[in-house]
Structure 1
Amino acid sequence: MRGEKSDPPAKVPTAAVTYEVTGEGRVDITYQGASEKGTGESVTRAELPWRKEIRVPLGRTPVVSVVLGPDGGHAKCALAVKGRHVQSATAEGAYGRTSCTGVLPAPEPSAD
């Protein structure tokens, strides 16, 4: 209705997530961003080492994926949630791929 005030949007609880990719050369990286809708973000031909610290909404799956180029190489992804190492994995060779995934608990229901 016109002229009525609406409640501000509810703030979604988050957790600190660190994505890290080490190795040699440049790689394409895709990762779960901080958006509440769970959209991914990409970095093309990222120079290594690469690191990103963000806050991911609870209930979303933090993930970082790495793709090597045609010249191959070696890259390792690592994922930490709230400062604790969760997973690491390695990609090698031409167009090698790998990903690291973590789990965040679902947000607690609000007591409205």
Structure 2
Amino acid sequence: MIHWFGPSETIPGSVKAAMDVRVGGGFRISFSTADGEHHEVGGEYREVVPDQRLVFSWAWHSTPERVSVVTVTIKPDGAGSLLTLNHGQFFDEPARDGHRRGWTGTLDRLEKMFA
């Protein structure tokens, strides 16, 4: 995860992650971006189905009261896999749009690892 997480402007080598991937376990991820900002997010795993599904809460350190929910599913697709990410329950539209940009960068970076 430290090699692919974060929006496109994430500084290489700045990602740090601690994860206890089990129902009730938590995670904390931090990274820095080229504009000099430091970001830290964390949450709790609500559902864990190995190789199939993760559901977890998501809250930025700077706004812990704004908890949203992420669902990641992975399904076989021909010779590969199809990953679907749904992030919902945002505080407002700007938060939704910012997360769309961040997740797009993250998934683009992940895809490059498998190219």
Which structure: larger Rg?
1
Pick 1 or 2: higher relative contact order, CA cutoff 8 A, min separation 6.
Answer: 1
Decide which structure has greater strand share: 1
TM-score (norm 1): 0.32
Decide which structure has greater helix share: 2
